[in-house]
A and B are shown apart, each in its own frame.
Chain A
Amino acid sequence: MDRRVVDALRAIVGPRGLIEPGTRALPYESDGLAIYAQRPELVLLPADTAETAACMKILHDAGVPIVPRGAGTGLAGGATPVAGGVIVGTARMRRVLELDVENRRARVEAGLVNVDLTHACKSHGLYYAPDPSSQQACTLGGNVANNSGGPHCFKHGNTSQHVLGLLIVQHDGTLLDLTAPRLDPLGYDLVGLFVGSEGMFGIATELVVRLVPEAPVVETFLGIFATLEAACDSVSDIIAARLEPSALEILDRLTIEAVEASVFAAGYPREAEAVLLVEVEGSEPEVAGCARAVRAILEQRGALSVHSARDAAARKKLWAGRKGAFGAMGRVAPDLYVADAVVPRTKLRELVLRTVEIARAHKLRLATVFHAGDGNLHPNICYDRRDKDELARVLAAGDEMLELCVQAGGALTGEHGVGLEKQQQMHYLFSDADLRQMCRARDAWDPARRLNPGKLIPVRVCEEMRAGSVPEGA
């Protein structure tokens, strides 16, 4: 990279905010999907919006590709560097700028770790609802880029339902301030379009988010099942009965074994083929009514036992296994391929079993833990990436699972994003015309396509658009 550009950037962010290739840059070569790795030319860690904007202006003038990055916990390669590109990370922007308890909202910097926002407002009886499994590490800015979810998004919705406003540094370093308190967008819904754009529209440096009051009563159920099918059927029954719990999560046998052998042990019986966690929240009568109905369904579906807890400590213990599931899988194999697909909730049983069959056919170990209430499957394949043959089988199995889910009326991703991982499978779901329309929207935000290039939209579609008629104004 041109030294004059590097020096100009260093003058903005200082020595703490700039990492040149070398040992310190190694963690930035990939995100949570380590099978894709690329050395970045430079890593920039600006301290605030002004520094981000100044850096973006210089990079714009120099024509350098940019990959925005939060904590790098993404699982689809969305933060993988691009050749000749620079990482712009938000890790140093971690402040809660304003905690507005009365209006139940907070203004925060994008690098704030997800769970730290809940810690900051907990004493006021409020919390931030989206709770990805990586919430101890992932940033709110990263959550915005991926429209992240989590177990409690079943009731409360993904990140997009909690973002009230954004301060965005655009491709050329100019600021777009969309933080005015408005119930509906004045004009087009730019915030709604930005959330989930996977770092291709700009860098959000500040967020205004909605805080949710803690429910008066919360009850967590743990259903133990002799078959995965019965756990899936229980979930479909709960949805069909129009019950509205706040979370519905399933863990299969291999996951239970890994959890129980780890520091996240939650007391799940190791002989169970599946456990189903159900959380119900609301007023006492709401919880009591829903709880009765949930317990009846679990028992009707042959649950071996049903445990429940209202006490916070006991509930935390029931959840410990689910929250620590991904960490615990490290005991099974050195690497974990966390697939992410969505299916109609009426087809859970059939499709979960088909993913098990696909893994078996490829001689792979599958540990399934997923957001059953949303139909959001996470078939997790345990493998060792040093084994090239196994890696090839993992990718082939993942592809088959995605194709299966799409054919059943599902989608490629429920919360991880498309990134690099699923770019080529976008054709399973979208036509060329659909993808061209996405390209056009992207061109309005970033005409030179320097922000996170080569992600989400298959490159062929973008290139064809370039070769053909580029839309006016793009």
Chain B
Amino acid sequence: MTTALRAPDLVAAALERVVGSAHVHPLELEGGTRVVPLACPAGAEEAQACVQHALEHGLTLLPVGMLSKLGWARAPARLDFAMSLRRLRRVLSYEPGDGTIRVEAGISMAELAHTVNEGGHWLTPDVPCPGGATIGGVIGAGASGFDRLRFGPLRHHVLGLRVVDGHGELTKSGGQLVKNVTGYDLHRLYTGSHGTLCAIVEASLRLFARPEHWVALSYGPLPEPRALTAARTLLALPIRPYALLVRDLGDGSAELCMNLGGREEAVQHERALVIAALGTPARSSEDAHALAQARAWRDEGQAEGRWPDLVLDCLPSRVECEVSELRRKLAETRVDARLTILPGLARIECRSANGRVPSSISSAAPAGLDLMRRLKSALDPRAVFAGGRVHADP
């Protein structure tokens, strides 16, 4: 394939023949310095045809949803076109009595959540700005939700996937069953692979009971160390919050926030335990107000697609030390940053004012990089899916 044949206008013209001219658009990347065609196939077979076209012509593509999580991974090393699955929006199978759902990859998280809420279920992950995210994109990014403390990570609830693989074939792993160990869990590999191994066209998910009642509580402003100590107290209680976070108020103080949900008597019991341990909260809300408050915390800082510049994980017992160490490094490097601390998950998210955190603070290379390279090479031998997303080469 010559460079000329990879020119964006020629690629776009070829893609128009696959998906129709109305469904190919220019996509600006990296602040408009790079423009590639964005093809939007109508179904799994058209998505497969796009991948086969790329294979045939030595092109490299990036599967995307609504592009909200493009910045979660590195920019692709090479890219000839992007393929959005956003037109694949059908609910393929939803049996409320079974507590599972199978959908096409392009359905928005908001539409999906609405569908399962109607059936008495709760969709995890509860991601920020769900109207601008697709389930395929969320799975590709491995994005767990605001409710992770209660339900665990997204990868535990993806029951199965159907994908267009690196050989241009439609393949599946797992199924629409809450328990299933038949074959290798390739869907675990695809989840969080940032589009480097396949294009997800269908997903099956486990659902949970929709909470009857919500409570949102917050304490503060408090000095950050006091907020972290209070969080530690809460985590020792027999409660199961949906979310627990320490918000950086930007003036050296912090606010401890939590979101409880479930059957009303259980939620009120948890609320009473929290108040007995920490006293009367500064702010408290229930039901629709509590849910709205929780969503405001969930979406904070991410409304414009702004994801953390740095995410630090540690052992729960190390959270206070790690926060203190990070604060020291940020001060040393004069980076103006806000932290969101998730003490129950032992995660610290850092958002700097200018979007840059010095590499000396960033984390190291992953373990198993050689194996990741071999997996990439075995599953996508012709590098049809854009690499360099999860690390320099896979």
Contacts and interface: CB of A to CB of B under 8 A. Distances in A.
Interface string A281-303: 01111101100000000000000
Given A182-B313, A240-B96, A441-B189, A434 B173 contact: yes
A177 interface: yes
B377 A286 contact: no
Contact of A184 (B142, B265, B314): B142
A279 B236 CA distance: 24
A14 interface: no
B209 A244 contact: yes
B70 to A, nearest CB: 18
Interface in B364-386: 365-369, 371-379, 381
Interface in A407-459: 409-418, 422, 426, 429-431, 433-438, 440-445, 456-457
B189 A188 contact: yes
A342 interface: yes
Contacts of A380: none
A244 B208 contact: yes
A17 B234 CA distance: 48
Contacts of A471: 377-379, 381
Contacts of B374: 444-445, 473-474
Interface in B329-363: 345-347, 363
Contacts of B368: 176, 178, 187-188, 190
B276 interface: no
Which DSSP category, helix, strand, loop or mixed, fits chain B's interface?
Answer: loop
Contacts of A376: 179
Q: What's the interface size class on B, roughly? A: 35 or more
B310 to A, nearest CB: 13
A146 B181 CA distance: 7
A374 interface: yes
Given A415-B181, A418-B183, A103 B316 contact: yes
B98 A189 contact: no
A193 interface: yes
A32 interface: no
Interface in A138-184: 146-147, 149, 153, 157-158, 160-161, 170, 176-178, 180-184
A195 B378 contact: no
Contacts of B366: 185-187
Interface of B: 95-100, 120-121, 142, 144, 152-153, 155-156, 165, 167, 169-173, 175-186, 188-189, 191-193, 197, 208-210, 238-240, 262-263, 265-266, 268-270, 313-317, 345-347, 363, 365-369, 371-379, 381, 390-391, 394
Interface of A: 100, 102-104, 146-147, 149, 153, 157-158, 160-161, 170, 176-178, 180-190, 192-193, 195-197, 213, 215-216, 236, 239-240, 242-244, 282-286, 288-289, 342-346, 371, 374-376, 409-418, 422, 426, 429-431, 433-438, 440-445, 456-457, 471-474
20 contacts: A157-B156, A185-B366, A189-B142, A192-B191, A196-B184, A197-B184, A240-B96, A342-B177, A344-B176, A344-B177, A409-B175, A417-B181, A418-B183, A426-B183, A431-B171, A437-B171, A441-B378, A471-B381, A472-B378, A473-B374
